[in-house]
Amino acid sequence: MDDRKKALQSLANARWRVSLLLSGAMMVIYFGFILLIAFNKPLLGSLILPGLSLGILLGALVIVCAWILIFLYVRWANTKYDDRIANLTRK
């Protein structure tokens, strides 16, 4: 029973590490974008293509990055976390 408890604690710690890492990455991306809006509006207003400013492009990339980070978490959970939980509950 003690080994099972240690394995569960290890799994919980791994989940926290992954979630904090991905949450931290999203915060850096989002707040970096917000800080650009706050302190460098002319840069974000510059046009890349007619009708497409750098600000719009970066805003869309923030959303895409969120999707990618969600995908990474779901993939990790489905391939690592769920298997380890299933192994712990079968014993």
Q: What is the pLDDT of residues 19-78, one digit of tens each?
A: 999 999 999 999 999 999 999 999 999 999 999 999 999 999 999 999 999 999 999 999
C-alpha dihedral (68, 71, 72, 74), degrees to nearest 10: 160
Total domains, the chain: 1
**Residue 91 pLDDT exceeds 90:** no
Going by their DSSP bridges, the two strands 52-53 and 47-49 should be labelled as: antiparallel
Give CA–CA dist 44/56, Å, rounded. 8
**Which residue range(s) make up the domain with 81?**
2-90
